[in-house]
Amino acid sequence: MADPLLGRVINRRYRLEEQLGSGGMGVVYRARHLLIDRIVAIKILVPGKNTDHLRAWFLREARAVNRINHAHIVDIHDYGETDDGLAYLVMELLDGTPLNEVIARGPMPVSRAADIIEQCCAALARAHDLGVIHRDLKPDNVYLLERGGRQDFVKILDFGLARLMQETAAAARGAVFGTPEYMSPEQTLGAEATAASDLYSLGVVFYEMLTGKLPFEGPGRSAVMEQHRSQPPVPPSRHVPGLLPLGESIVLKLLEKEPSRRYRDAHHLLEDVKALQRQAPRNPWETTAEPAAGVRGAARVGGVVAWSLRAAMFARMLARVYPTGDVPRNLAQALDQLWTMSAQAARAEGEMGADAAKLEAHERRARDFRGQVGRRIEELAREVSHGRRRITELHERRVHLAKLVEEARGVVGSLRGRISQLELAGEMGAPLREAYQALGAAEARVAAREDELEDLNSRIAATEAECAGLESQSRQYREQLEHNADAMDAEAASLRKRVSERTETATRIERALIDTTQVLLDGLGDRPECREIVLETQELVGLPPGVRVPAALSRKND
């Protein structure tokens, strides 16, 4: 059955040319941006899911991901709704290989797997810093490209779509959605996904890359989810003898059942992954030569220049057919209209091009702004991650030190009791002196440990205050990003509307130009002396689509 959306132009800008794939929530198309001739991918929310509630979710998730602006997350160029209510998302078209296809070829060397995980970590760190959770991270959603001569350049897709799928189901509270093989234990219980859930899923992906196997497999969805909750994974070194201990440690820490026992955040994980990369050095990334530029043949003239040339060609035809100037009124008027509308088309194209350039410049400034603020938030989050881990270490040290203080106080108490007994017994010799000496030493140890404990408390308080200050700065940057992004989105929407209006005007003029061209061709259709000029026109600029060339003027008469 033919896809009714193929060939449709979405919001007067994107023509759908080919269906690339479909899923539970959306259909992805290859499309062409008609104003700047860019090939893009468009995801359209499937009509059956296109309720007001889900459209709002779809667009909100698109807006959130658009603000992440990270090199390893698929670029979102545009999003919105059509006049008839179709929600769409415009993304870069990826020319690469999904990670699941690469994994299917067998286990990867640790250096290659660590390189891919490092890029995923960097992307997740930025997303989590901005409050965006993926919720369904798996190899199908990780694409490997060749970019700038670098192999395995990562792009992560479909942030937030698992949440959208959950919203579609009129199911009981606690129902479970997602891909069982990559779900965290808490997700299998119906709990809301968190950053720690994404890290668990990344651990499953890392395990699978290293071993070629999933950590948990079973006869059905329920069996796999139960294994995530209760069964420890087989250490990857059992499948890959000689695996670096740090590699195994990273995987097993990511696959901890309790979220609190996993990495604190993606920044923490990134530090260990980079340490692993240093232990397992890889060859420099392979580089490939840029493809040689092909030699282009003579190109046809297009756009409004073509219409001016067509008008000139029709003027030549009329002059040849009516050398005395007695051109029929309808043909003379059609030629005048062709010249007038060619000028109008030139003006409309110029205005449309200027507005499209403004829009592109605005979008570039918006991306740069999001990138700058996002990087600053990431830097602050990295410092907070360090600080919070330091606080955890200091708290652990404090617990240990408090125990030592209590033990030392117990010794002091015992010695005082011993001294009292000796004094009551009238002992005034060496045993009493030794007891007092031991008491002095024990009290000194207590005082030293108490001073150390007080210093530790001060360091904890100072680090807490430092982290609170960094978190306050991060909140301010996020608020700045939100506030400015709202203003930028509003301006972009205004510019897109203006470009759409210009496009509609240009389209209307072009339709009129095509109709006028048909009038002229029909009027000259029985004059074979025009055939040579018609063929010359076709060779130089072509005739507009949909125009019927009369038989006497057609190339078929050769």
What amino acid positions are annotated as catalytic residues?
Answer: 136
Specify the DSSP class assigned to residue 73. Answer: B
Q: Which residue has tokens 């001569």?
A: 149
Angle subtended at Cα 201 by Cα 107 and Cα 228, rounded to the nearest 5 degrees: 95
Q: Are 202 and 99 in contact (CB under 8 A)?
A: no
Angle subtended at Cα 50 by Cα 48 and Cα 51, rounded to the nearest 5 degrees: 110
467's tokens: 């982290």
DSSP track, 254-295: HT-SSGGGS-SSHHHHHHHHHHHHHHS--PPPP--PPPPPPP
Residue 414 CB neighbour total at 10 angstroms: 14
> Which one, of 479, 501, 496, 484, lies nearest residue 365 by Cα?
484
DSSP track, 138-182: -GGGEEEEEETTEEEEEEE--TTHHHHHHHH----TT---S-GGG
Alpha-carbon distance of 157 to 162, in angstroms, equals 12
Residue 464 CB neighbour total at 10 angstroms: 14
Tally of residues, the chain: 558
> Which one, of 76, 50, 161, lies nearest residue 370 by Cα?
76
Q: Where are the alpha helices (DSSP H) in 169-216?
A: 185-188, 195-211
Residue 276 burial class via C-beta count within 10 angstroms: exposed 0-12, middle 13-18, buried 19 and up: buried
DSSP reduced 3-state for 443: helix
Is residue 27 within a helix (H) or strand (E), and if so which, with residue range?
strand 26-33
346's tokens: 């030139």
- The half-sphere exposure of 189 on its side-chain side, counting CA atoms within 13 A, is 10
> Which one, of 375, 358, 390, lies nearest residue 477 by Cα?
375
Residue 511 CB neighbour total at 10 angstroms: 12
